[in-house]
Amino acid sequence: MRVTADNSQCAGHTLCNAAAPQVFGLDDEGYVVVLVDGDVPAEVEGAAREAVAACPERALSILE
């Protein structure tokens, strides 16, 4: 599983970072940054899915 972020949609709610800080970080302006290059580690896949679902702007996507 991989995740992507569309920064043009991100409004800086930071819910992704709160749900999965191992996968989603924040830049200096508080917008999402994907921290994982490649596949999300299996042990944090659940948190990553929760983070994607929590994004009110739908700026995050899962690629299976």
**CATH number of residue 56's parent domain:** 3.30.70.20
> Any idea how long the chain is?
64
pTM to 2 decimal places: 0.94
Total structural domains within the chain: 1
DSSP 52: H
Give me the percent of the chain exceeding a pLDDT of 70.
100
Averaged pLDDT for residues 16-22 = 98
- Residue 3 in contact with residue 61, Cβ under 8 Å? yes
User: Which range of residues forms the domain containing residue 40?
Assistant: 2-63
Give me the percent of the chain exceeding a pLDDT of 90.
100
* Residue 51 pLDDT level (bands cut at 50, 70, 90): very high
Per DSSP (E only), the strands in 1-64 are 2-5, 24-26, 32-34, 60-63
- Residue 60 in contact with residue 16, Cβ under 8 Å? yes
- Residue 32 in contact with residue 16, Cβ under 8 Å? yes
